[in-house]
Amino acid sequence: MSGGAATASAGSPPVSDEPAASGSSTAAFGRFDLTGRVALVTGATGVLGGEMVRGLAAHGAKVAVLGRNAERAEELAAGLASEGYEALATPADVLDRPSLERAREAIMKRFGRLDVLVNAAGGNMPGATLLPGASFLELGEEPMREVIDLNYMGTVLPIQVFGAELAKGGHGSIVNISSMAALRAITRVVGYSAAKAAIDNLTRWLAMEFGRQYGGGLRVNAMAPGFFIGNQNRRLLLEEDGSLTARGRTIIDHTPLGRFGEPEELVGTLVWLCSDASRFVTGVVVPVDGGFAVTSGV
């Protein structure tokens, strides 16, 4: 579908580029509908990325599933298709520009447009994390470079490859994934923290740059998830029997809502940032953290 107003399927609120009528709650609700939009999620084969893909599809978007593991990407896309959603597997490495360019070609061939980019690829690496009793002064150089490359350049390259297509439709949205580690000093995860802090700065800088270049045609925001159990942090936060580790207990005690997040709890904020409901919002980093970031611990 080419640029312009997208049409909704039967029974769905319309997606429109026209401002909602003042006081119209029905029109305001329709702003959250993504019918007719095409969304790409990198890192989509991970726990959080996969939930984001499902959430965007459930709100009407056609979705492209991008991850390094081709089999898992195909599996997820096929599962979504079996539920009646439009989904395309686009295996690629966010640090490999040619593979991203091939993914772009596949998306444009299948859908003809791209409206949303969610940069969910990333993660920590053991070598860039201080072990108990270790010194920062002895931390290896190569693991630090790798974790910064994965999280920072793994966000920069997709934006460069897909940005022009996002701007064409007039309501493009980029959502980067930050972290509590960017907002608060968290022990041990030094490389990951630095990379995610760079994402926050990149988000604000691109919001300014793209706002000047495209007006409201391409917005850039970020989400900063709190603590969600995934494959990378499970052993740090939970014992084998499912009870909390000492680190897990410290985090829960510092979280006003008193628990870890559930992956689906990221979807509401994500849909808001991807949709016309946030059409005047750019350059913000939204915590989804149960209150962790605002708590002093005292």
Following DSSP, what letter does each residue of 139-194 receive, concatenated? --HHHHHHHHIIIIIHHHHHHHHHHHHHHHTS-EEEEEE--HHHHS--SS-HHHHH
How many angstroms from the chain centroid is the CA of residue 275? 14
Q: How many CB atoms lie within 10 A of CB 36?
A: 22
Backbone phi, psi, residue 223, to 5°: -110, 140
Instruction: Give the CA angle between residues 175, 164, 41 to the nearest 5°.
Output: 35
* Strands ordered across the beta sheet of 116-119: 87-89, 62-65, 38-42, 116-119, 172-177, 218-225, 285-288
Q: Is there a catalytic annotation at residue 192?
A: yes
Per the CB < 8 A criterion, the answer to whether 113 and 1 are in contact is yes
Residues paired with 172 in a beta bridge: 218
Distance of alpha carbon 39 from alpha carbon 283, whole angstroms: 19
Q: Record the tokens describing residue 242, joined without a space.
A: 């499912």
Q: Record the tokens describing residue 262, joined without a space.
A: 């559930």
Instruction: Give the CA angle between residues 68, 177, 34 to the nearest 5°.
Output: 90
Distance of alpha carbon 256 from alpha carbon 171, whole angstroms: 36
Element (H, E) at 104: helix 97-111
Which residue in 85, 152, 192, 214 is the catalytic one?
192
Residues involved in catalysis: 192
